[in-house]
Amino acid sequence: MENIPIAVLASGRGSNFQAILDAIDAGECSADVKVFITDNPEAKAIERAQSKNIPVEIIDKREIKDREQFDLELKKKLDGYKVELVVLAGYMRIIKSKELLDSYKYKIINIHPSLLPAFKGTTHAQHEAYDYGCKVSGLTIHFVTDDVDGGPIIYQEAVDISDCSSGDEVAAKIIKHEHKAYPKVVDSFAKGKYVVEGKHVRYIKK
Ligand code: GRF
């Protein structure tokens, strides 16, 4: 089984990134992280990459303000590392460049902490689910397209949040599921392929 060469992008603490690294170490995720890329020079996730000797590329959001220019810089970096899958793991920027999206079509995935399309396009989905009084929320792993949080859905998992008494509790509960689900989905890219037909995603094992 060949490992799939991936890039991981994160802007903050990177606990999902760590879950992927741990799964790789445990032999449960057939991926090679060729590069870690961040827009935030202070991201905790940088240390996680460094501790595994993974190359780190920082594209400072304070230096490149223009979205298109930023994404083209990102594309250059990704092209250089020859990755087959780009994993967004708490990457807090919207990818807007058509050039980047077109050349990595159905090769960029994201994880969102709600059952999409509920709580789409927000960075506080867990708190909004709690405030709404939801009994069930969850997570969605989807392809990234120009429709923010609206790309074809690869995987979803429902999480019972009826016992939670704050948005923070909801977030803490859902993230545990994220940590299990994301490495499995990354692994599935090494073991087969996803075929996208409109909004529908079908999996074909190798
Ligand atoms: C996760 O909740 C993920 O669903 C969302 O951003 C958060 C990232 O957390 N996209 P972490 O940086 O992986 O800890």
Q: How far is the CA of 77 from the centre of ligand 1 (A)?
A: 22
Q: Distances in Å between the alpha carbon of 28 and those of 22, 24, 33, 148, 187?
A: 9, 6, 14, 30, 7
Beta pairing class for 85-88 and 108-112: parallel
Ligand 1 is surrounded, with C-beta below 6 A, by 10, 12-16, 89-90, 111-113, 175, 178
pLDDT at position 173 over 80: yes
Amino acid at 75: K
pLDDT at position 1 over 90: no
Amino acid at 79: D
Longest dimension (CA), the chain: 47
Asked if 37 contacts 59 with a C-beta cutoff of 8 angstroms, the reply is yes
Q: How far is the CA of 16 from the centre of ligand 1 (A)?
A: 6
77-98 confidence digits (pLDDT tens):
999 999 999 999 999 999 989 9
| Cβ contacts of 47 within 8 Å, gap of 6 or more | none
User: Catalytic pick from 112, 124, 127, 179?
Assistant: 112
Nearest CA to ligand 1 atom 7: 90
